[in-house]
Amino acid sequence: MTFDPFARSRRRFLRQLSQLALAFAAPRGWRDLRAQMQMPMPIPPASPSAAQPAQAIPPILRSTDVTPFVDALPLPPRGVPLHRHGTPRLRIAMREIHAKVHRDLPPSPMWSYGETALAPLIEARSGDPLEVEWVNNLPTHHLFPIDHSLHGCGRDIPDVRANVHLHGGRTPSASDGHPDDWYIPGTSRVCTYPLQQDAATLWYHDHAMGLNRLNIYAGLFGMALIRDSVEDALKLPSDRYEIPLMIYDRMVTKDGQLFYPDSGDPEHPWVSEFGGEAILLNGKMFPFLEVEPRLYRIRLLNAANSRFFNLSFAEDAAHPHPFHQIGGDQGLLPAPVPMKQLLIAPAERADLLIDFSSAASRNVHLVSGLANVMQFRVASAGVAHSSRGSMRDEWETNTVPTTLRPVVRTPESAATVTRTITITELDNQHGDTMVMLLNKTHWHEPVTETPKLGATEIWEFVNLTEDTHPMHLHLVRFQILDRRVFDDYAFRMTNTRRYLNEATPPEPHELGWKDVVQCPPTQITRIIVKFDGYAGRYLYHCHILEHEANDMMRPFEVLA
Ligand SMILES: [Cu+2]
């Protein structure tokens, strides 16, 4: 599937299908559309106009080329504060490392925030400020082909630039990692994170203008867990029973090297999406984890550039292993949601509880689509009993709580402004995507979204493309109001809004606070958001990193 010559025709087919559906005014099902997203992401073939490939394509590893479940799942080291007088400060350096994605493959150069492929885990308390000195110790040459035609990516600036955004952090603008605030190897920045926010699974990653699709792909991302007393009181599984788990896909050559594709046009190497056959978990293909037959908490992050993962747990195909989702992007849900599978978009997080007690002495797999991508080796029943001390039994529950954290729904009447934001792609005559825009406006054009500090607004994303876009707003948390199929042809042609079905409320596992929302094609997705926290310049964008890099990103400014 590596280079899919049918990808473009499939996209055209889907587009025609959508037009056909509209001709008969038949609304496309939300779940059907989601199911389409399970397909490997198409990689555009070389444009017919392109003369020579920009880089030679080496033989690419197939997932069947390696022995599964021979590498133990790596777990991230804890970030240790540099000093404890005053505000704790971490010093985290970006660097080039060499790491193996599988036992039987040679190491590949990668970039990391740590000494291994796995960046340090930042753990902090809600309301306790944290400072991080982010040091750029990267080399001056990039690992992957840069597209100098993308915004803010010209040949007049250094090839290697970096900055850091704490995704999901309620952070003052100066420390938010604005795409223009990049800095070069040999320099560093100190960012201050007040962390005035609920317990949640956050992550940190590169956000340098036009480059973060390549910087994150190279490895510049890590997880951050914010904890608070509400979470403490639930006595959820902790320490070795709480597993940070980052899932993402890569193209790996047969000799173990990370590879990022290009369009075939040396002047415009950008590709509109990325899909790789190697599914990595915490840096390894097909890792295994030895677990006890008890309750575990899994802090899951989709760290992929473009790929949506449809995940489940199973002992075998006929026996899905149930689990509960207890939290999303911005913290705990009101109550645990029993699940059999989870569709997770790039940058989304899911806080899961899974009970292995019914699978003692057997294996449970994490399944992505139809493939087993990770193995949980469950110990025999006796092991759990002997390893659990009485202190832990007292302190920690081994059952799923019935309620978690109240999430008061924001009434629509609280909103004083409604903003409509269109999502569009512009294609050339060959059907290749050239640019992807929000409100048909480029990144560098003047700010048009200027909410007042403290104001509540409704933002409605009108998706006029054939892809689901995971839209992310910096600074804030929001609630999903609904999604509704509309006549996108009428919208495009006459700017009239005609709905084709009733509004669909968010899924049960989307009923908590969010900072990423899946916006499916031919639907209008509405969120309600209070612009709390800080005044200043921020941004919102699609978190498909290839889209973001080619202008599916806009500033907003919170006015004091
Ligand atoms: Cu997008």
User: CB of 19 within 8 A of CB of 489?
Assistant: yes
The average pLDDT across 418-434 equals: 88
Tell whether the model's pLDDT for residue 534 goes beyond 60. yes
Distance 545 CA to ligand 1 centre (A): 8
Distance 544 CA to ligand 1 centre (A): 5
Percent of the chain with pLDDT over 90: 80
Distance 518 CA to ligand 1 centre (A): 10
Distance of CA 535 to the CA centre of its chain: 26
User: CB of 477 within 8 A of CB of 514?
Assistant: yes
Tell whether the model's pLDDT for residue 17 goes beyond 90. no
In the structure, what pLDDT confidence band is assigned to residue 59 with cuts at 50, 70 and 90? very high
The pLDDT, as a whole number, for residue 393 is 47
Distance of CA 180 to the CA centre of its chain: 21
Residue ranges of alpha helices (H) inside 417-521 are 488-494
Reported as a single tens digit per residue, the pLDDT across 466-504 is: 999 999 999 999 999 999 999 999 999 999 999 999 999
- Per the listing, tokens 């939300």 go with 30
Tell whether the model's pLDDT for residue 2 goes beyond 90. no
In the structure, what pLDDT confidence band is assigned to residue 309 with cuts at 50, 70 and 90? very high
Tell whether the model's pLDDT for residue 39 goes beyond 90. no
Tell whether the model's pLDDT for residue 80 goes beyond 90. no
Distance 424 CA to ligand 1 centre (A): 9
- The candidate with the shortest Cα–Cα distance to 17, out of 466, 477, 423, is 466
Distance 34 CA to ligand 1 centre (A): 14
| Residue 411, burial from CB neighbour count under 10 angstroms (0-12, 13-18, 19+) | exposed
Rounded to 5°, the CA angle 117-281-354 comes to: 135
Distance 464 CA to ligand 1 centre (A): 11
The pLDDT, as a whole number, for residue 86 is 80
In the structure, what pLDDT confidence band is assigned to residue 29 with cuts at 50, 70 and 90? very low
Distance 290 CA to ligand 1 centre (A): 37
Query: Could you give the CA distance from residue 451 to residue 533 in angstroms, rounded to a whole number?
Result: 12
Distance 310 CA to ligand 1 centre (A): 18
Distance 516 CA to ligand 1 centre (A): 12
Residues 388, 392, 396, 399, Cα dihedral to 10°: 20
Distance 58 CA to ligand 1 centre (A): 28
Which is higher by pLDDT, 505 or 434? 505
Residues 16, 22, 27, 30, Cα dihedral to 10°: 30
- The candidate with the shortest Cα–Cα distance to 257, out of 480, 487, 539, 56, is 56
Give 235's DSSP letter. T
The pLDDT, as a whole number, for residue 84 is 65
The pLDDT, as a whole number, for residue 458 is 98
Distance 212 CA to ligand 1 centre (A): 15
Task: Give the 3-state DSSP-derived string for 355-416, with helices as H, strands as E and coil as C.
Answer: ECHHHCCCEEEEEECCEEEEEEEECCHHHHHHHCCHHHHHHCCCCCCCCCCCCCCCCHHHCC
- The candidate with the shortest Cα–Cα distance to 209, out of 161, 266, 273, is 161
Give 544's DSSP letter. S
Distance 495 CA to ligand 1 centre (A): 22
- Per the listing, tokens 């200043």 go with 536
Distance 94 CA to ligand 1 centre (A): 27
Show the tokens assigned to 540: 């919102």
User: CB of 162 within 8 A of CB of 206?
Assistant: yes
Contact partners, residue 450, CB within 8 Å, separation at least 6: 556, 557, 558, 559
Q: Which of 83-92, 245-254, 378-387 has the highest mean pLDDT?
A: 245-254
The pLDDT, as a whole number, for residue 54 is 61
Distance 542 CA to ligand 1 centre (A): 5
| Residues 511, 515, 518, 524, CA torsion sign | positive
The average pLDDT across 333-352 equals: 98
Tell whether the model's pLDDT for residue 343 goes beyond 70. yes
The pLDDT, as a whole number, for residue 221 is 98
- Describe the chain by its helix, strand, coil percentages, rounded to 5: 15, 40, 50
How high does pLDDT run on average in the chain?
A: 88
The pLDDT, as a whole number, for residue 7 is 39
Percent of the chain with pLDDT over 70: 87
Instruction: Give the global pTM.
Output: 0.90
Q: Measure CA of the first residue to CA of the last residue in the chain; give whole Å.
A: 50
Which is higher by pLDDT, 32 or 384? 384
The average pLDDT across 272-288 equals: 97
Distance 43 CA to ligand 1 centre (A): 14
Query: Could you give the CA distance from residue 552 to residue 439 in angstroms, rounded to a whole number?
Result: 9
Distance 515 CA to ligand 1 centre (A): 15
The average pLDDT across 76-101 equals: 87
The pLDDT, as a whole number, for residue 87 is 85
In the structure, what pLDDT confidence band is assigned to residue 383 with cuts at 50, 70 and 90? low
The average pLDDT across 72-87 equals: 82
Query: Could you give the CA distance from residue 398 to residue 236 in angstroms, rounded to a whole number?
Result: 8
The pLDDT, as a whole number, for residue 18 is 36
Tell whether the model's pLDDT for residue 532 goes beyond 80. yes
In the structure, what pLDDT confidence band is assigned to residue 3 with cuts at 50, 70 and 90? very low
Show the tokens assigned to 151: 């915004």
For residue 19, the SS3 value is helix
Distance 471 CA to ligand 1 centre (A): 7
